[in-house]
Amino acid sequence: MPTSTQTLTDVQNATKPTACLALADGTVFYGHGFGATGTTVAELCFNTAMTGYQEIMTDPSYAGQIVTFTFPHIGNTGTNPEDDEAGDPVAAGMVVKWNPTEASNWRNTQELGDWLAARGRIAIGGLDTRRLTRTIRQQGSPHATLAHDPDGNFDVASLVEQAKAFSGLEGLDLAKDVTCAQSYHWNEMRWAWPDGYPTQDAPKHKVVAIDFGAKRNILRCLASAGCDVTVMPASATAEEILAHNPDGVFLSNGPGDPAATGEYAVPMIKGILDQKDLPVFGICLGHQMLALAIGAKTIKMNHGHHGANHPVKDHDTGKVEITSMNHGFAVDSQSLPSGVIESHVSLFDGSNCGIRLEGRPVFSVQHHPEASPGPQDSFYLYERFAQNLADRKRG
Query: Does the bond joining 194 to the residue before it have cis omega, within 30 degrees of 0?
Result: yes
Which residues are CB-contacts of 344 (< 8 A; sequence separation ≥ 6)? 312, 313, 314, 315, 352, 353, 354, 365, 366, 367
d(CA 203, CA 228): 5
Q: How far is CA 347 from CA 305, 354, 381, in A?
A: 12, 13, 19
H or E segment at 390?
helix 380-393
With residue 161 as reference, give the H or E element that holds it: helix 156-165
Determine contact, residues 371/341, Cβ cutoff 8 Å: no
Strands 28-35 and 19-23: antiparallel
Distance separating alpha carbons of residues 361 and 26, to the nearest angstrom: 50
Q: Report the distance separating Cα 108 and Cα 305, nearest Å.
A: 29
Under 8 Å between Cβ of 376 and 309: no
**What are the backbone angles phi and psi of residue 38, rounded to the nearest 5°?**
125, -155
Task: List residues with catalytic annotation.
Answer: 284, 368, 370
Nearest one of 246, 232, 240, 243 to 286, comparing CA atoms: 232
